[in-house]
A = this chain, B = another copy of it.
Amino acid sequence: MRFFEDCDIGSREVLGIHHFTRDEIIAFATQYDPQPFHVDDEAAKRSLFGALCASGWHTAAQWMRCFVDHQQKGVLEARAAGLPVPSGNPSPGFKNLRWLKPVYVGDTITYASEVKEKQVSKSRPKWGILTAHNTGTNQHGDLVIEFDSVGFLERRSV
Is there an interface contact between B48 and A55, defined as CB atoms closer than 8 Å? no
Is there an interface contact between B93 and A95, defined as CB atoms closer than 8 Å? no
Is there an interface contact between B91 and A34, defined as CB atoms closer than 8 Å? no
Q: A157 near B: Cβ within 8 Å?
A: no
Q: In the complex, how many residues of chain A place their beta carbon closer than 8 angstroms to a beta carbon of chain B?
A: 31
Question: How many copies of the chain does the oligomer comprise?
Answer: 2
Identify whether the interface residues of A are mostly helix, strand, loop, or mixed.
mixed
Q: Which of A62, A68, A69 has the most CB of B within 10 A?
A: A68
9 additional contacts (CB under 8 A) given A56-B93, A95-B97: A28-B61, A32-B62, A33-B68, A35-B68, A55-B61, A55-B64, A56-B91, A92-B98, A93-B99
